[in-house]
Amino acid sequence: MSLTTSAVQADRGAARLDSAARARAAAHALADRFASGAAERDAQRRLPHEEIDELSASGLLAITVPARFGGPDLAPSVVADVTRILAAADPNIAQIPHSHFVYLNLLRLAASEELARKHFDAVLRGGRVANAQSERAGKTIADISTTLVADGPGRFRLDGEKFYATGSLFADTLAVLARHDADEHLDGGEYVAFIPADAPGVELVDDWDALGQKTTGSGTVRLRGVAVDAADLVARAPAVSRPTGYGAFAQLLHVAIDVGIARGALDTAVEFVRTSARPWFEAGVERAVDDPLLVQRFGELGVDLITAEATLDAAGRAVDRATGFTPSETATADGADHDAHVGAVADASIAVAAAKVVADRVATGIGSALFEVGGTRSAAAGTGLDRFWRNARTHTLHDPVRWKLQHIGRKVLRDENPPVHGVI
C-alpha cells in the first residue's frame, strides 16, 4: 500500500476555517459537546473515535496548513487557544492532535514541496497525523533505536518499536522517527518517515495504561519491515538544529493543554461548591459560596489561573513573533537581521518555558485544590473529579520543568540563550 493512497483517501469533508475567530468559535462549539461525556469516557476508558471524527470534520486540524497549499495558515497563538479551549473540556481530546500540528510544522520547515503538498492536501480533507517518536529502551528519550535500512534504489525498510505514540489509534498517517547510518543511498542522521497507519508491517497496540490522559491512544507502535519510499522521508535536523521555533511551538501546545486542564478544574470546582458543597459550621452561613474562607481560597485559585492564562498568551505572542506570524523589530544589515531572529526564537523559548513552569504548578495545584474546596463529598468515587489532577499530573510529566528553570536561570543570570534541540 502506498502512502499516497492512504493519505488521499482520508476524506472527511472537513470544513474550511479561514480566520482565527472562526477557529476559536469552532473550538468552543466542540468543547461544549465534548465536556458532557468527558467524565464517562475517562471512567470507562472509552476512546473518543466519534469525537475525533468531529474534530477532523470541523476543520480545526487544518488551521496550520500554509496559505500556499490552500490552508488558513493561522498563527501558533491561535493553535494554542484552540488547544486550551478543547483541553478545558477534555484534555485527552486536546492532546491527541498535538503531534499532528507538530509534524505538520516539520513538513512546513523541512519537507520537499511534493511531500508537503501531499500531506497538506490530505489534512485539508480531514486527514490526521500522529507521532511514533519516543522509545522505552533508550538510556534517554534522545536515544532512538528504530532504523531505516536501504532496501533497493529509493526504498528503505523501517524496523523498531515506539511508545507514547499519542494519537496513533486515530491516525491516517504516522510520523516515525528513525535513524539511518550513512550509506551510498542517504546521508546519516535522524529522519521522520511519513507512512500510512495501516501499512503492512505496522502494528498499533492499545496498551496505554497511565493514571491520567487515559484515552489519548498513547500506546505502542511496532514496525516490522515497513517499506518506505525515499520521497516520504524528512530529515529532522533542519527543523531542530537551527533557530526555527520548532521546539517552542511544540512546547506551547503542551502548555495550552495544562492551562486548559486548570480552567476545567476551576470551573468544575465552582459548579460543585455552588450545587453540592456544604459550608463549614463555624462560618455561620447557609451556603458554601458565602463561607469567607472559601471565597478567599477561590480568589487565590483565580489569581493562579489568570496568571497561567496570561503567561500562555504572552508565550503564544512570542512564538508568533519568532516564527514570522507577527511583525518584530528587524535590523537593516543581514547579519543583524539574523541575530535579531536568533534572539526572537530564544526569547520565545524562554517565554514558553516560563509558561510551562507556571502551568505545571497551576494545573496540578487546582486539580488538587478542587477537593479542598469541595469537601468530603467531592472525594466520592462517582464524582469523577479526580480526573483533573490525574490528567494534569500525567501530562505535566512531559519535559520536566526543572530543566525549564535551568534555561530560564541561565538566561536571566548569564544572558545565555537556551539550546536549540527541538524541545524548548
Task: Assess whether pLDDT exceeds 80 at residue 366.
Answer: yes
Whether 176 and 317 share a structural domain: no
Whether 60 and 158 share a structural domain: no
Structure confidence by residue, pLDDT tens digits, 130-185: 999 999 988 888 899 999 999 989 999 999 999 999 999 999 999 999 999 999 88
Q: Which of 219, 235, 251 is a domain's end point?
A: 235
CATH of residue 35 = 1.10.540.10
Structure confidence by residue, pLDDT tens digits, 84-96: 999 999 999 999 9
Question: pTM here?
Answer: 0.95
CATH of residue 222 = 2.40.110.10
Structure confidence by residue, pLDDT tens digits, 392-406: 999 999 999 999 999
pLDDT of residue 10: 64
Task: Assess whether pLDDT exceeds 90 at residue 12.
Answer: no
Structural domain for 114, as ranges: 20-128
Whether 158 and 100 share a structural domain: no
Scan for cell 490552508, then name that residue. Answer: 71
Q: Whole-number mean pLDDT of the chain?
A: 94
Task: Assess whether pLDDT exceeds 90 at residue 319.
Answer: yes
> Would residue 315 count as lying in a domain?
yes
> Would residue 4 count as lying in a domain?
no
The share of the chain scoring above pLDDT 70, in percent, equals 95
Which of the four pLDDT bands, split at 50, 70 and 90, describes residue 381? confident
Whether 75 and 195 share a structural domain: no
Number of independent structural domains in the chain: 3
Dihedral sign, Cα of residue 304, residue 310, residue 313, residue 319: negative
Q: Which of 128, 159, 174 is a domain's end point?
A: 128
> Would residue 345 count as lying in a domain?
yes
Task: Assess whether pLDDT exceeds 90 at residue 5.
Answer: no
Whether 387 and 291 share a structural domain: yes
Whether 229 and 291 share a structural domain: no
Which of the four pLDDT bands, split at 50, 70 and 90, describes residue 335? low
